[in-house]
Amino acid sequence: MANIIFFGFLFPPFFLTNTAFAKERVKWSVYTSKVNKPIPRLVAAPVATLRTLPSKCVGKDCFDWTTPVDGKPVSLRGAGLFRFLRIEVYTAAFYSPWEAASTEDILGDVPKSLEFRYHHEIKGGDIRKIVDKNLRGNPNVDYKKIQRRLEKLDAYYHDVKPGDRYRVTYIPKQGTFFEFNGKQEIAVPGEDFAGAYFSVWISRYSINQKFRKTLLGLK
pLDDT, one tens digit per residue, over 54-89 is 689 998 999 999 999 999 999 999 999 987 778 888
pLDDT in tens, 119-145: 999 999 999 998 999 999 999 999 999
Q: Is residue 202 over pLDDT 80? A: yes
At residue 52 the predicted structure's pLDDT band, cuts being 50, 70 and 90, is low
Calpha distance 143→209 (Å, rounded): 21
Any residues with CB less than 8 A from the CB of 7 and at least 6 apart, and which? none
Q: Looking at residue 53, what is its pLDDT?
A: 60
Mean pLDDT of the chain: 81
- 3-class DSSP assignment, residue 5: helix
Higher-pLDDT residue of 158 and 52 is 158
At 123 the pLDDT is 95
State yes or no: pLDDT of 28 exceeds 80. Answer: no
Tell me if 162 sits within 8 A of 119, measured CB to CB: yes
Q: Does domain 2-215 have CATH number 3.40.309.10?
A: no
Region of 177 (left: φ > 0; alpha: ψ -120 to 50; beta: rest) is beta
Q: In the predicted model, is pLDDT for residue 173 greater than 80?
A: yes
> Other CB atoms closer than 10 Å to residue 85's CB: what's the count?
11
Cβ 215 vs Cβ 92: under 8 Å: yes
Is the pLDDT reported for residue 114 higher than 80?
Answer: yes
pLDDT in tens, 3-20: 444 434 443 333 233 333
Identify any residues that bridge with 67 across adjacent strands, giving them in sequence order. Answer: 74
CA 183, 206, 34, 29 dihedral sign is negative
Name the residue among 79, 113, 105, 116 with its Cα closest to residue 197.
Answer: 113
Distance CA 86, CA 154 (A): 30
- Percentage of the chain exceeding pLDDT 90: 65
The pTM score is 0.77
Q: Taking residues 160-179, what's their average pLDDT?
A: 97
User: Cβ(73)–Cβ(57) under 8 Å?
Assistant: no
Q: Is the dihedral of CA 126, 131, 132, 134 positive or negative?
A: positive
Alpha helices in 12-83 (DSSP H): 47-52
